[in-house]
Chains A and B, each alone.
Chain A
């Protein structure tokens, strides 16, 4: 039954409005089968709306939605081959863990015994074999989360949707569970759409990330693309930390821009930009601090935090406040030291001002 389009998700000019409020501006989107795609963005950017549109919990105001090549625009959630893991887990409190996992199977009229067997298999998959007879209230948060995942995947959906599935877990568990989710997704070859506002989580699990802002896509690409080639100030800032400094592009030759910043000229990859005002993206760990007599941007250390493997500095400079991560921990600067900030212009990126 596997076809090329099975599990694909396609949005064609989808718009969602609630009365006068536009929750989603015209959205075109293609998710390939077997991929884990993350919708990333700040609160209210439209990422959850997008997810709910895929699920069929919301109906598009305009446009077409295709899942596995089939037009499902007017199909309700019940009839779409998608499963969803909710932020709150949404485990049915009156059912045991096994009944919860078997729920989707039994509503499709699968015989009880078979459904229970499949449910147990699903629980095994998420490492909860033997927990079937408990009530959700008797499980820890992480366990409940995995039950929710098991409940979604036993249905063998074309698309698995995850709505901030880790937000209720502690940091350590979060890393563990996200790895598990990723493994299960890859093992089963599921298409998954994952919503989160945590960029690190997004980078860690995704094949592709779609960053959303103000009800539309800000940029999409692989985690590396987004980090290495941000197309806007917003992306640069949102994906990994970044220092943004105002600069001026003097001219572009062979994809290399000649940029003036704070009286100095740098040769920086143009990133498609032309002559004019721009912003330079400087990643904190690309910046190096030297004693004040060395060349570079002059500044004063206003704050220094020793973290063991690295030191985080805040430096007041003519470019503004710069955030610097230094791996050199044996010879730290102290607060109040005059420093000179250097960076490799090749690693810097330009975005439109």
Chain B
């Protein structure tokens, strides 16, 4: 343990002495400093540049080393090291926040002198390494004082995740939320409450009168129905997969994945072409049954319809692992207790799936709240918070205070849903994968349930199929909806290759395509890592403030992308952390926006793993890290797959936050597609979407091959219906 502290102190020293402290215009990790004469490493800056304030981390590190060497009492040694590291971190952050490019912005009377007034750029690689080293010294010391059962790995992980969430969620989001309390020349609570409780937000006109409801009520209503609907559909699919001998499972599987790999606006557009007033199906119904062509799609029902289509796969991804995990023995036990198949399902299987259902619902609920593409395209006069927030920021009258208030309303809804979900799941144990192996058969579904599953899932699948066939069709015709002459023109424009002069990507989409793939490929494993680590901490470890920790990890997901995007610019356009215009900011925004899915899926999967498996591994001499790697991870196959798939796909398809963060060098596919749709160039947008869909599908299949399925029983058998 002492060795670990010295290792990290050494890493920190290397960061301070050898790496450039600040970020340069050339980038975060420029190695120009090796050539330049100007001081760049922390040490050089202190010695030659007069940047005395950078001494703090060095002193803290040295102090920690001295304490480790000199003090014999373990408890005292750890405590003092802890304080030294904490002081180092605090001072490092403080100097970064106080002394910015334009010199000091606080304590001006005290901070004088030429170097201070000259200011400094943001943190570079050197500062990053030093901060992380100090953080791990701190957590290692903390674990030695007996916190977290003295497990340095666990304490370090908690420390790291808290630090990351603080820096990349709280810090930026606070920039915008504080605007809610802003009045001219200051901040006030009295202004906030009247605006927050306005009837535009919370009005119940649609229930008690003939007016429409407030936007918050609309959002709540929509999100609740979407959460319930997607959970139900997801469950139907999961049951069909695990508990029936349905023949076309493979086809179904693809259909359940496709909607999440669909770029935004495409589903809305396809629905308009099918069900809009002039849509194919509407025309058909009008011709065949003389039904009147209406604009029913524009409003609540259209948005709900599109959201069901878009978010069911997420519920499915969460539920499939959970449904598979329900131990056959428990179902067999129920059957031997004379319960019939319906009763077994109702009283045994379903309750055991509770954490999965709750998590699926919560995800659907939050996704619906934050979704802004579908309401934008199909909302008509049905206003929801996410679109209101978007237009409060980018509309013709920008009103950041209103955006902040709406965002707080949205967070209030999320927090309530989160708390209700928590109390519903409760503290019961849902472990069904215990160390006591079983080899039974999963109960087949009762005819009633089976019929219900087929009746809900199959039409949905058929609709999905139609929608996606149309998208593919649309990409090959001149003008989708009007001129159906077959053409490759859209593909050529987007993805053309020029062989005349060597080999060149001449299509207009290549740039953003490669950027998107690169960034998503980097972001996905990081997201899964952060998300599943967090889930592991939440399920398996006990620590103070766990509930708050859990909710804080949900925050970034619950806040609409627009808010995140703007708050990221506000927070990370200036020292100490200056990331705008880089690809890092895109990766970070994806990791922290999508990690909650990893967390939810991980929690659901992990609560099925009996704790004694971890404990057995630990008493057999494995440390927590080995336990995670060799026991927990292999048993979490589906959850890992879900987290990876989801984060990869979301990084490719998300739009609202990205729009603000893309730069010329790092443009993303969605931003490109949205731009084309805005200009009415549907052909190329749809062709691009089709290519993205194929790409993602290929990636998902590859992932599935790589990760495979976990082997719990020799075969997963389903009872043959009698």
Interface residues of A, Cβ cutoff 8 Å to B: 55-57, 59, 74-80, 82-84, 86-94, 103-104, 107-108, 135-139, 141, 144, 148, 151-152, 155, 161, 168
Contacts and interface: CB of A to CB of B under 8 A. Distances in A.
Contacts of A91: 435-437, 616
Nearest to A106: B630
Interface stretch (B164-172, B246-254, B483-491, B706-714): B706-714
13 contacts: A56-B618, A56-B619, A74-B150, A77-B618, A78-B618, A88-B610, A90-B436, A91-B437, A92-B616, A92-B617, A93-B433, A104-B621, A107-B617
B635 interface: yes
Contacts of A88: 434-436, 610, 612
A77 B615 contact: yes
Contacts of A84: 615-616, 619
Interface of B: 74, 146, 149-151, 433-439, 610, 612-613, 615-624, 626, 630-631, 634-635, 710-714
A78 B618 CA distance: 5
Given A78-B621, A161-B619, 4 more contacts: A76-B623, A84-B616, A88-B434, A135-B714
B714 A138 contact: yes
A88 B434 CA distance: 7
A139 B618 contact: no
A18 B623 CA distance: 24
A266 B654 CA distance: 89
Highest count of chain B CB atoms <10 Å: which of A74, A80, A168: A74
A94 B619 contact: no
A55 B621 CA distance: 11
B549 to A, nearest CB: 18
Contact of B634 (A57, A94, A168): A94
Nearest to B438: A137
Contacts of A83: 619-620
Nearest to B614: A90
Contacts of B634: 94
A160 B164 CA distance: 41
Given A74-B150, A94-B635, A168 B619 contact: no
Contact of B436 (A78, A89, A151): A89
A168 B613 contact: no
A78 B623 contact: yes
Contacts of B615: 55, 57, 77, 84, 86, 90
Contact of A137 (B622, B623, B712): B712
B149 to A, nearest CB: 5
A92 B435 contact: yes
B149 A92 contact: no
B714 A76 contact: no
A90 B622 contact: no
Given A93-B635, A135-B711, A137-B713, A59 B437 contact: no
B155 to A, nearest CB: 11
B622 A59 contact: no
Nearest to A83: B619
Contact of A90 (B74, B612, B713, B714): B612
Q: Which 10 A-B pairs have the closest CB atoms?
A: A90-B435, A104-B620, A136-B437, A90-B616, A137-B437, A90-B612, A107-B622, A84-B619, A77-B618, A137-B439
Contact of B149 (A59, A87, A151, A168): A59
A94 B710 contact: yes
Contacts of B435: 86, 88-93, 136, 148
Given A74-B146, A76-B149, A93-B635, A135 B437 contact: yes
A103 B631 CA distance: 10
Contacts of B624: 78
